[in-house]
Structures are given as C-alpha cells and as structure tokens.
Amino acid sequence: MKEIESLLARIKSGETTIEEGMEELKFLPIKSLHHTLIDTHRELRNGFTEVIYGEGKSIDHMVEIIEAQKGKCNILVTRISQEVFDKLNERIDGLEYNQLAKTVTHISQEINYKDSTIGIITAGTSDIPVAEEAKVTCEIFGNKTEMIYDVGVAGLHRLISRLEAIKKAKVLIVVAGMEGALVSVLGGLVNQPVIAVPTSVGYGASFEGVSALLGMLNSCASGVTVVNIDNGFGAAIAAHRINQV
C-alpha cells in the first residue's frame, strides 16, 4: 500500500494534480485485487512451498519453474515417473525422489511442524502410492503424519488393533479402492474429520475408482468428505487446511 500512501502525499503536496491522481487510481482496483489474491494464494500455500503438477509438463518447463524458485521456497513436484526424475536430476542439484509417491521435492527452507498429527490410513497395500503422495504433501506443508496401512474391513481385526493409534490424530485421510467400505466403518468409530480418497485400485466393475467414489459419497457414516479419485495431494491440502485452523 506504500504506492497509495505516496500518491496521497503527492496529491497533498500538489506535486500531482487531482486529475492525474484519478488516472493513477483508475487501474487500482484490479491491481489491488491482484495483489490481495496473490497474497491469499501465497498464504494458503504457506509462504514456503511451490507446488508443480508434473503430469504432462515438459522437462524443460519443469526445470525452468524449479530453477526460478530454488532456494526461495521449498518445492514439491507431483506425478513424476522414475524416467522423468532421472532427467530432472541430471540438470538440477538437490532433488529428492519418492518412488512410491512419485514426488520430487527440493527442501531449502526449514519446515516448522505443527504439534498435531494427520493420520493416513489405507485399506490395502495397493493404495499405498496414493497415501504416500498425501504424506509427502502433508509434511512439506508442516504437518506431521502417522501412516497406518492395510487395515481394510475384510479383516476387521487389523483395523480394530490400530484404533488407539488412529484416535490420536487430529485429522484422518482414509485411502481405499474397490468398494471403499473402510471409510464407513472408520467414520462410525471416530469423531475426527475424515477425508476419504477413493483409489483406482480394483478391476471389472470398479470402473477405475468410480465404485469407491460412489461408496464414499454414500457412506452411512455421517460427516465424511471425499476428494477426487487417486487425489492424495488434494486430500493432504484439505487436511492441512483443517490442521491449521
């Protein structure tokens, strides 16, 4: 707002006429909104993290974005195959790759972790890559995570035996494919916020995750919310929004 303060001073001193001031202010609304919005955006992103959705971007394009931000903030690139990582790694120092999550990170700023924890729970072992994408995202935004894998409802004892651990988290991300029933069972057992992530795990009439998605939207457990299929990143940001309230 310094720019406006200076303008008003110039008006007051007569250095700038009222007409000239009017002209200068003409584009102010848009410019100001512009800046407000940038700030909001930055704040949401925590001021310290740049996120790049890697799928479909060229190597050159990604190198350019990463180099521009490197050292200024932490960087997270999602949906990166081993092949793509290898090419990025040849050109940029200090990248780390998570094979399961298919994420690339570059950490230059210390991450200040909040005290509370986000629990990330999967129904099966095939759901783990999505859970790992959520984990990496949660952590780079300063959220501690607790991973609880392979507790699907066909073996209810596995879930029950981990219930104490689950109840300690502030927010829960539940990752499941097939029919996604874990969300309904867990949603009835806990009273924390539950974010459900349907995965494309399954075959035949699972329709690449649609069955799990519909199951979760129709969960008989009240107050469960859902994100897009395989969207571990989105679930993590949703959990991060809750964890910072």
Q: Is 158 left (phi over 0), alpha (psi -120 to 50) or beta?
A: alpha
Residues 159-188 that bind a second copy (CB under 8 A): 160-161, 163, 170-171, 178-181, 184-185, 187-188
What's the min distance (Å) between Cβ of 184 and a second copy? 4
Which of these segments, 10-18, 81-89, 106-114, 143-151, binds a second copy (CB under 8 A)?
10-18
Which DSSP string corresponds to 189-210? H--S-EEEEE-S---GGGGGGH
Please report whether residue 146 would count as binding a second copy according to CB under 8 A. Answer: no
Does 82 interact with a second copy (rule: CB under 8 A)?
no
CB nearer to a second copy: pick between 107 and 214 = 214
What part of residues 109-128 is at the interface with a second copy (CB under 8 A)? 123-126
Rounded to whole angstroms, the Cα distance separating 219 from 215 reads 6
Q: How far is the CB of 28 from a second copy (least distance, A)?
A: 6
Single out the segment in contact with a second copy by CB under 8 A; choices: 80-88, 89-97, 107-115, 191-199. Answer: 191-199
Q: Which is nearer to a second copy, 88 or 171 (CB)?
A: 171
- Using the rule CB under 8 A, is 62 a contact of a second copy? no
8 A C-beta contact, residue 92 and residue 80: no
Closest separation between CB of residue 120 and a second copy, Å? 15
Buried b / exposed e over 126-154, threshold 16 CB at 10 Å, is bbbbbbbbbbbbbbbbbbebbbbbbbbbe
Task: Name the residue nearer to a second copy (CB basis): 71 or 161.
Answer: 161
Among positions 83-112, residues that touch a second copy (CB under 8 A) are none
Cβ closest to a second copy, residue 79 vs residue 106? 79
Chain residues 214-243 in contact with a second copy, contact rule CB under 8 A: 214-231, 233-242
Closest-CA residue to 177 (of 208, 142, 219): 208
Residue with tokens 């997270």: 76
